Amino acid sequence: MNVQTQGRRRPRTAIAAAVTASALALAVGLSGCSGPAAASAGAAEEVDVLRYQGWSNQVSLPELAEDLGYLGDVKLEWVGNTISGPQDIQSAATGQTEFGGAFAGAVVKLIEAGAPVTAVINYYGEDEQAFNGFYVVDGSPIESAKDLIGKKVGVNTLGAHSEAVLDTWLADEGLSDDEIAQVQLIVVPPNDTEEALRRGQIDVGVLGGVLQDRAIANGGLHTLLTDYDLFGAFAGGQYVFRDDFIAKNPETVHTFTTAIAKAIEWERETPKDEVIARFTKIIEGRDRDESTANLQYWKSPGVPGVGGISDEDFTRWEDWLVGSGIVDGKLTPSDYYTNEYNDLAED
């Protein structure tokens, strides 16, 4: 399929999912400090505790890296869970956490809106085993892009990965901007998407990872579209740090970033059963009242390579970003990322 985005689409996105003025003001104001974790550190002493948000019932790459010992003396401090990449990186930008991860387009949006953050490593992606799919119930009348006009699509957040993929596909299938705007995006927490789809609260649900595999195993659903169908294997999103934090804590950022790269490689090289066993041990040991039932469906880290970022990770979404009013003019990918702190990244 020849993918070509076009024109203006979904004008509400830039408003509904944009970073608020107050959040940006706080982010800019924090550029002279590194948040509470740095306050106790001396002028020459780097922060060795990184506050972060997790994902319920899942093991993130930083959590795995810490458990494997790759973080060395750097420790993680969990402050709660998130269900949204844009919210996660806003928390990092405003100093509530030290790092956060989100879809590349959301990273661009945050930086273009004035937040002083930089992406340091890719942390999720799509391949033939791990991808995000748009699912409908068996017997659904929805079989094509045109059939989505006026229908409800459940996504975990607005203005991020799922919306960019959907709008790209709809435009490529020939829908006009007005028709695309009639496809309703409904925010549904990922853990609730399968149930909402089966109950008819939404017409299409976006599922990925173990939640996707569990839903398929339960039967009665089939695929309308996957992002792997559109783009093949690709990196989807990055972890970011505030620029002031990087400036004051370069070795900590270096330790973290390289540890994530090593954790990606560990997931890729380790037998599936061992990965699942390790995830199970981590979740059971952190006492957050979570379930490990879905871990059996884990397949792949999805990240191409060892997390090294490329210009294409951002330019892939350029037409969508411009068409959505997030970027004015041509992208300059080098404004958004660095591979300086990833020892495993290829030159």
pLDDT tens, N- to C-terminus, the chain (347 residues): 333 333 334 544 433 343 444 445 444 454 444 444 443 444 469 999 999 999 888 899 999 999 999 999 999 999 999 878 888 999 999 999 999 999 998 999 999 989 999 999 999 888 888 788 999 999 999 999 999 999 999 998 888 888 989 999 998 899 998 999 999 999 998 889 999 999 999 999 999 877 888 899 899 999 999 988 888 888 889 999 999 999 999 999 999 999 999 999 999 999 999 999 999 999 999 989 888 988 888 888 888 888 999 999 999 999 888 888 888 888 899 999 999 999 998 75
**Residue 305, both tokens:** 């390579």
CA 159 to chain centroid, in Å, comes to: 12
Q: Give all domains of the chain, ordered by start, each with its CATH number.
A: 12-125+234-335 (3.40.190.10), 132-231 (3.40.190.10)
pLDDT at 83: 75
Q: What Rg value do the Cα atoms of the chain yield, rounded?
A: 20
Q: What is the DSSP letter of 217?
A: H
pLDDT digits (tens, 9 = 90+) for 138-151: 999 999 999 999 99
pLDDT at 44: 61
Q: Beta-carbon neighbour count of residue 186 at 10 Å? A: 16
Q: Beta-carbon neighbour count of residue 295 at 10 Å? A: 19
pLDDT at 127: 81
| Residue type, position 245, single letter | F
Give the three-state DSSP class for 61: helix
Residues in the chain: 347
Taking CA 268 as the corner, what is the angle to CA 262 and CA 272, rounded to the nearest 5 degrees? 125
pLDDT at 85: 84
Taking CA 88 as the corner, what is the angle to CA 39 and CA 339, rounded to the nearest 5 degrees? 80
Distance of alpha carbon 260 from alpha carbon 49, whole angstroms: 16
pLDDT at 305: 85
